[in-house]
Chains A and B, each alone.
Chain A
Amino acid sequence: MSEVLVLIDHVDGAVRKPTYELLAIAKRLGEPSAVFIGGADQASGAAEAVKKYGAEKVYTVDDTEIKGYLVAPKAEVLQQLAEKTSPAAILISSSFEGKEIAGRLAIKLKSGIITDAVDVQSSEGGPVTTQSVFAGNFTVQAKVTKGTPIITVKPNAAAPEEGDGAGAVEEFAATISDAAKSAKIVASQPRQASGRPELTEAAIVVAGGRGTGGNFEPIEGFADALGAAVGASRAAVDSGWTPHTFQIGQTGKTVSPQLYVANGISGAIQHRAGMQTSKTIVAVNKDDEAPIFELVDFGVVGDLHTVLPAATEQINKRKG
């Protein structure tokens, strides 16, 4: 069986959950080989972590030389690994960086690329991807027809599967061109942990928009009662009420949780693009003509500033 390369998404050696989802997909397509590009002292920890989720091989690439440069060096590493291993596919997380590595890699390897897959299955003709397009109004089935399929995969596209792989570690020394080292990361500020679930990974998302009037307390209280992540519409972000990292929609995050609760959000197409595929949708909005009500399984026409705190209290009571 051919190897399937999975680029490990990590922060200082701490492997992020989407990597485990990629490994689960890789098992469907061949033998999962994880690729760790990072500090040499972090490699063994990361290798242990991915082994538990089925990595048969772990290629570790010391990033001392390339740390601090944007995207291009990682594309060169993957190119050289792909030339060495002739993989059946290359899977990368659909982050900004992941998609750009994939883009450069596709040109280098003369291979087709598919972005933002929400599912990947094997078929005789190679991996078949599912994408959600046009603000979630259509799903598209596609496959790569030339070269090595390079696929970037959205969070939650598969459930992580625990189960040890061989986890054989192999150091890989890549040759990085000077041209790849031209866009430099001058400074980096790690994001503060909110203590709530990650927006793209959460089972429940509670979001607030213009209707909050800038007061997110009812949103956060309700989210915490449900153990949910907090999100926001672009209107709330543009007003400076909440950081851009919380934005859900076309130019923010795409979420597809079990439950999405939109509060004081009208439901413009740009917002829908980020949440329309949620399983259950609930909205609270004063305006009974807000388009968000066209999407909901359950809606309350009312003021979020009274409805949410009251509901939060009831939920907390039920939980005892």
Chain B
Amino acid sequence: MNIVVCVKHVPDATADRRFESDNTVDRVGVDGLLSELDEYAVEQALQIKEKSDNPEETKVTALCVGPEKAVDAVRKALQMGADEGILVSDEAIAGSDYVATSLVLAKAISKAGEERAVDLVICGMASTDAAGSVVPAMLAEQLNLPQVTFASVVETQGDQVRVKRDGDTATEVIGGTMPLVLSVTDQTGEARYPSFKGIMAAKKKPLETWSLSDLGVDAGDVGLSVAWTQVEDTTERPPRSAGEIVKDEDGSGATALTEFLASKKFI
């Protein structure tokens, strides 16, 4: 089996995330890392490999689109256990919207499958920065593949994929036949930490960097200037003014809480 897992390098959610003057996300001045939600995708890729009939024959490739430093996200995936890494990096890609991002990913997946067709594309449920959740569906559309998405439980058997999906109004079981695009939620289970052995082994794993011309993508089709959406303004939410905090002593907390709710007309 040939698995490509898409990983995104994002600004650390616990850092002071902000925008550049052109209203794109500041990806340079803020510490970045492998998007937490993509760790679950890497984990599922590795589990599918490990559980497959022939793990030695199954290849997991971590694919990332981003600036040079985004290679850290690929490295993390390799340390976790992915076999190979690909970073697509090109200045022209900066500021790309969802559509252009999905185009670049799709072309990279096609190239990664030139010698051996890709059976499974695995994504996280969303990035932790843009949080759009639309790229997996777009990838499926670009590649003309089925999508089996937002899986909270994943099972594979041969080329069959079956997942549980928790929607707003129902819990569904979705089935599909590879090749397909799979996205997984954080409910699929803890992602492993890289072991020391894994970290050492990762240094020797193949890691390629591709440019747009390697993919045959016209630089004029991607990037901020041709994005199909435009951010006009970004505004930082004013900090919340400090509230009143009381200490509960002998039941005073409950009374104070009730009084507060009544004063705001919630009772």
Q: Tell me the A269-320 residues at the B interface (CB within 8 Å).
A: 269-270, 273, 276-277, 280-282, 284, 288, 293-303, 306-308, 310-311, 314-315, 318-319
Q: Tell me the A159-203 residues at the B interface (CB within 8 Å).
A: 179, 182-191
A134, A311, A318 pick with most chain B CB within 10 angstroms:
A134
Instruction: Report Cα–Cα, A184/B227, bound state, in Å.
Output: 33
Q: Is B172 interfacial (CB 8 A cutoff)?
A: yes
CB-contact partner of A113 in B99, B152, B173, B234, under 8 A: B99
Interface flags, B129-164, vs A, CB<8A=1, else 0: 111111111101110101111101000000000100
Instruction: Report Cα–Cα, A308/B135, bound state, in Å.
Output: 42
CB-contact partner of A72 in B133, B136, B146, under 8 A: B146
CB-contact partner of A137 in B169, B233, B236, under 8 A: B236
Instruction: Report Cα–Cα, A307/B255, bound state, in Å.
Output: 9
Given A95-B167, A102-B134, A115-B132: A141 and B254 within 8 A (CB)? no
- When C-beta atoms are compared, the residue in chain B nearest to A149 turns out to be B229
Q: Is A45 interfacial (CB 8 A cutoff)?
A: no
In the bound complex, do residue A70 and residue B246 qualify as a contact, i.e. CB atoms below 8 Å apart? no
Q: Is A108 interfacial (CB 8 A cutoff)?
A: yes
Q: Return A185 CB to nearest CB of chain B, in Å.
A: 5
Q: Return B134 CB to nearest CB of chain A, in Å.
A: 3
Given A138-B237, A145-B230, A298-B244: A95 and B168 within 8 A (CB)? yes
Q: Is A86 interfacial (CB 8 A cutoff)?
A: no
Which of chain B's residues have a CB closer than 8 A to the CB of A308? 254
Given A188-B171, A259-B264: A310 and B251 within 8 A (CB)? yes
In the bound complex, do residue A138 and residue B236 qualify as a contact, i.e. CB atoms below 8 Å apart? yes
CB-contact partner of B133 in A115, A133, A244, A315, under 8 A: A115
Q: Return B174 CB to nearest CB of chain A, in Å.
A: 6
CB-contact partner of A251 in B37, B168, B229, under 8 A: B37
Q: Is B177 interfacial (CB 8 A cutoff)?
A: yes
Given A136-B237, A182-B146, A282-B260: A116 and B168 within 8 A (CB)? no
Q: Tell me the A103-161 residues at the B interface (CB within 8 Å).
A: 103-104, 106-108, 110-116, 128, 133-147
Which of chain B's residues have a CB closer than 8 A to the CB of A204? 266
For chain B, the bracket of interface size reads 35 or more
Q: Return A222 CB to nearest CB of chain B, in Å.
A: 9
In the bound complex, do residue A184 and residue B174 qualify as a contact, i.e. CB atoms below 8 Å apart? yes
Which of chain B's residues have a CB closer than 8 A to the CB of A72? 140-141, 146-147
Instruction: Report Cα–Cα, A250/B259, bound state, in Å.
Output: 32
Q: Return A203 CB to nearest CB of chain B, in Å.
A: 9
Instruction: Report Cα–Cα, A302/B250, bound state, in Å.
Output: 10
In the bound complex, do residue B253 and residue A302 qualify as a contact, i.e. CB atoms below 8 Å apart? yes
Q: Tell me the A210-252 residues at the B interface (CB within 8 Å).
A: 226, 234, 244-245, 250-251
CB-contact partner of B131 in A189, A250, A302, under 8 A: A250
B23, B97, B136, B253 pick with most chain A CB within 10 angstroms:
B253
Chain A interface (Cβ < 8 Å from any Cβ of B)? 11, 16, 70-72, 75, 95-97, 99-104, 106-108, 110-116, 128, 133-147, 179, 182-191, 204, 226, 234, 244-245, 250-251, 258-259, 269-270, 273, 276-277, 280-282, 284, 288, 293-303, 306-308, 310-311, 314-315, 318-319
Chain B interface (Cβ < 8 Å from any Cβ of A)? 13-14, 17-19, 23, 37, 97-99, 102, 125-126, 128-138, 140-142, 144, 146-150, 152, 162, 165-177, 180, 185-187, 227-237, 240, 243-248, 251, 253-258, 260-262, 264, 266-267
20 contacts between A and B (CB under 8 A): A11-B169, A16-B169, A71-B137, A96-B165, A103-B136, A106-B228, A107-B142, A136-B237, A137-B237, A145-B229, A146-B228, A186-B175, A191-B171, A245-B168, A250-B13, A251-B187, A259-B261, A284-B257, A288-B245, A306-B253
Further pairs besides A311-B254, A314-B255: 19, Cβ < 8 Å: A72-B146, A95-B168, A99-B132, A107-B142, A116-B132, A138-B18, A140-B234, A183-B148, A183-B175, A190-B170, A234-B186, A250-B128, A259-B264, A298-B246, A302-B247, A306-B254, A310-B254, A311-B253, A315-B261
